[in-house]
């Protein structure tokens, strides 16, 4: 579905119904459908599949059913692709609510805050920001359909992934957004990033570029606080997130502190993380090699699991 309002209604309707949902931009390929095996596919351009199909209009015009019984908040309700290979990670009501609470507190979201989503909530970053904004009563503008004429003169935040942010350097949308973002452009990253591109983008839109590090299997874990950040740092840990240095070779937690270790793999323990991560002694292995400075900023050096381009 391309209509932003329909996307959000369908997403939250699926949450309310306690069904397991998988979101995909555009018509999903056959291998995705074969892996997920859906009972129902909803959209405008429906793929060739043996599953039942329906448009948004057909579902909205049909009969509704009240939820029966109390939901299990640990039951998976959202599936996302697993990084570095096949498989999926599963979010529950519990992890989504934890994400919303953490993001809302970190970015100081409130009823008088405005937020523009430049991409649909089909990945961890835009989904987290959507949930955090709705949890704290912030005003959300959906701009992934390319239409930005409805925007107010000033926005507090705009949100997108790193690839989408790179396109802003060459798009007319950057001219529309230039000078209108007060608190910053929040850019989702999953690995080390180019500091020079970050600075160029900031100059292009005349706003701070705030990185938010996370992944489908980790949730958001490290971010640039709008009042406290460095342009070459990934940021500081979000609320409800613990980080610990791991031995890059075996993933085991190191027994010595950061002040002795030159660099180490980031181990994550978080209420935001869904089921499906690679665990070692209770810590999720990120594959990210990082350093930390005395003030608590994390600097990404490399991604030990990244596949060659």
From CA 293, how far away is CA 308, in angstroms rounded? 29
Which pLDDT value is given to residue 309? 37
CB 269 within 8 A of CB 293: no
First-last CA distance in the chain? 30
Q: State whether 51 and 118 are in the same domain.
A: no
Q: State whether 285 and 188 are in the same domain.
A: yes
Q: State whether 285 and 179 are in the same domain.
A: yes
Q: Which residue segment(s) compose the domain that 147 sits in?
A: 90-303
Q: State whether 118 and 151 are in the same domain.
A: yes
Kindly report which listed range (146-160, 199-213, 247-261) carries the lowest average pLDDT score.
Answer: 247-261
Q: State whether 67 and 101 are in the same domain.
A: no
Asked, for residue 136, whether it belongs to a domain, the answer is yes
Asked, for residue 309, whether it belongs to a domain, the answer is no
How far out from the chain centre does Cα 126 lie? 5
Task: Single out the residue in 38, 71, 104 at which a domain terminates.
Answer: 71
pTM: 0.90
Looking at per-residue confidence, does 90 or 51 come out higher? 90
- Name 271's Cβ contacts closer than 8 Å, sequence gap at least 6: 94, 95, 98, 102, 240
Q: State whether 121 and 31 are in the same domain.
A: no
* Encoded tokens for 51: 């599953």
Q: State whether 197 and 132 are in the same domain.
A: yes
Q: State whether 205 and 61 are in the same domain.
A: no
Which pLDDT value is given to residue 277? 64
Which pLDDT value is given to residue 308? 44
From CA 84, how far away is CA 38, in angstroms rounded? 23
Mean pLDDT of 50-78: 79
Read off the pLDDT of residues 95-120 as tens digits, 9 standing for 90 and up: 999 999 999 999 999 999 999 999 99
Provide the percentage of residues in the chain whose pLDDT is more than 70: 93
Which pLDDT value is given to residue 205? 95
Which pLDDT value is given to residue 224? 97
How does DSSP classify residue 60? H
Residue 31 pLDDT > 90? no
Asked, for residue 78, whether it belongs to a domain, the answer is no
Q: Are strands 52-54 and 76-81 parallel, antiparallel or unpaired?
A: unpaired
* Encoded tokens for 85: 């290979």
What is the CATH number for 96?
3.40.50.12780
Report residue 5: phi and psi, to 5°.
-65, -40
Read off the pLDDT of residues 243-290 as tens digits, 9 standing for 90 and up: 988 888 888 888 766 556 678 899 998 888 887 666 777 788 889 999
Task: Single out the residue in 42, 71, 100 at which a domain terminates.
Answer: 71
Query: What counts of helices (H) and strands (E) characterise the chain?
Result: 8, 17
CB 199 within 8 A of CB 166: no
Task: Single out the residue in 71, 99, 119 at which a domain terminates.
Answer: 71
Closest to 294 (Cα-Cα) out of 258, 256, 264? 258
Asked, for residue 121, whether it belongs to a domain, the answer is yes
Asked, for residue 83, whether it belongs to a domain, the answer is no
Q: How many separate domains does the chain show? A: 2
Asked, for residue 53, whether it belongs to a domain, the answer is yes
Q: State whether 130 and 207 are in the same domain.
A: yes
Asked, for residue 95, whether it belongs to a domain, the answer is yes
Half-sphere exposure (Cβ direction) of 208: Cα atoms closer than 13 Å? 17
Q: State whether 161 and 297 are in the same domain.
A: yes
Read off the pLDDT of residues 295-304 as tens digits, 9 standing for 90 and up: 889 999 999 8
Q: State whether 159 and 295 are in the same domain.
A: yes
Q: Helices in 107-233 by DSSP H: which ranges?
A: 124-136, 162-167, 173-177, 195-205
Q: State whether 97 and 62 are in the same domain.
A: no
From CA 1, how far away is CA 227, in angstroms rounded? 36
Residue 213 pLDDT > 60? yes
Asked, for residue 298, whether it belongs to a domain, the answer is yes
CB 281 within 8 A of CB 255: no
């Amino acid at each position: 579905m391309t209509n932003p309002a329909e996307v959000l209604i369908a997403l939250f309707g699926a949450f309310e119904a306690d069904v397991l949902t998988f979101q995909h931009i555009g018509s999903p390929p056959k291998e995705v459908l074969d892996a997920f095996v859906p009972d129902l596919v909803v959209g405008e351009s429906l793929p060739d599949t043996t599953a039942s199909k329906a448009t948004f209009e057909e579902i909205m015009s049909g009969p509704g059913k009240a939820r029966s019984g109390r939901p299990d908040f640990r039951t998976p309700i959202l599936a996302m692709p697993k990084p570095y290979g096949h498989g999926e990670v599963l979010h529950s009501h519990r992890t989504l609510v934890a994400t919303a609470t953490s993001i809302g507190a970190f970015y100081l979201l409130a009823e008088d805050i405005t937020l523009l989503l430049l991409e649909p909530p089909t990945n961890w970053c835009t989904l987290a920001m959507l949930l955090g904004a709705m949890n704290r009563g912030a005003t959300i503008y959906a701009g992934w359909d390319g239409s930005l004429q409805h925007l107010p003169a000033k926005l507090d935040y705009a949100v997108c992934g790193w690839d989408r942010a790179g396109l802003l350097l060459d798009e007319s949308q950057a001219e529309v957004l230039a000078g209108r973002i007060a608190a910053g452009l929040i850019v989702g990253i999953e690995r080390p990033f180019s500091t020079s591109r970050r600075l160029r983008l900031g100059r292009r839109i005349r706003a701070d570029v705030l990185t938010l590090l996370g992944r489908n299997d980790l949730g958001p874990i490290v971010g640039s606080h709008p009042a406290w950040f460095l342009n070459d740092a990934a940021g500081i840990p979000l609320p409800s997130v613990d980080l610990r240095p791991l031995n890059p070779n075996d993933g085991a937690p190191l027994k010595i502190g950061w002040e002795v270790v030159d660099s180490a793999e980031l181990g994550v323990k978080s209420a935001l993380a869904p089921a499906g991560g690679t665990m070692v002694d209770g810590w999720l292995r990120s594959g990210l090699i990082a350093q930390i400075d005395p003030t608590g900023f994390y600097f990404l050096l490399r991604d030990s699991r990244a596949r060659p381009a």
